[in-house]
Amino acid sequence: MKMERSAGAVVFYRGAQIEYLLLLSTRWGFPKGHIEPGESERAAALREVGEETGLRVALLDGFRRVDTYSFVRHDERVGKQSVYFLGQAQTRAACLSGEHNDLLWLSFDDAVARVDFARGKEILRQANEFLMRET
């Protein structure tokens, strides 16, 4: 089985309340993309967040979650490992890239309801718990 690796971030903004950024391509999720040859996971996550949202984020130390799954592409099963970090944005002024159809800043409860995959919901819950412990 062919394996692919990607990296991304659960992006949040801390204003009056913590808000999480979700992107819509075919489903709602977090910014992420392929790790380039020779690129670290963290560098790939920062690059992908920048390319997909126009945001520069600071990745918080101590948060790294891995989502492993498989899917079928062109009648071939492909394994995928996506690594997620927790990224703090200094502004909500995100830009929509050509890769996505929409973006939203949402409260935790609204974001959990909007994320399409169960594992994405769990990663978001873990990110929120991490932030609650840090404050």
The three-state secondary structure class of 18 is strand
pLDDT greater than 90 at residue 69: no
Pairing label, strands 57-73, 76-89: antiparallel
Q: Give the pLDDT band of residue 89 (cuts 50, 70, 90).
A: very high
What confidence category does residue 48 fall into, taking pLDDT thresholds of 50, 70 and 90? very high
Residue 55, SS3 per DSSP: coil
pLDDT of residue 6 exceeding 70: yes
Q: Give residue 1's pLDDT.
A: 77
Residue 135 confidence (pLDDT)? 62
Mean pLDDT of the chain: 93
Q: Is the pLDDT of residue 73 over 90?
A: no
Interatomic CA distance for residues 123 and 114, integer angstroms: 13
pTM of the model: 0.92
Cα separation, 43 vs 28, in Å, equals 23
